[in-house]
Amino acid sequence: MPEYEHKTLGVKLFVKDNVTQGDLEKYAAEYRNFDHTGDIEHRGAVVRAMWKVGIIIEPTQIGDVAEMDPKVIRWMSEKLDAYYKELTTIPPE
């Protein structure tokens, strides 16, 4: 299971390691339910949607993203965006 940690922020992030196309389709559908027109909205939408569809394993409860430290949400969304890219990048032949 991929895991990330930011010691200064005191945050750990564990994500599902056997993500399927179906998982990404559920994520995409959930992501569309949130306002994501700007960078700040995108960050919150990524965290909310990936948690809701079970791609985020830990923390087990995200709670109200709007009430969380914006540095934590930015860090989490950047890790999740990079993970999404890793999942969908085609390796060289």
- SS3 letters across 41-60: HHHHHHHHHHHHCCCEEECC
- Residue 54: phi and psi, rounded to 5, are 90, 15
pLDDT for position 63: 72
Q: How many residues does the chain have?
A: 93
SS3 assignment, position 21? helix
Tens place of pLDDT per residue across the chain (93 aa): 899 999 999 999 999 999 999 999 999 999 999 887 899 999 999 999 999 999 999 887 777 888 999 999 999 999 999 999 999 999 999
Would you kindly state where each structural domain of the chain is located, as residue ranges? 3-88
pTM: 0.91
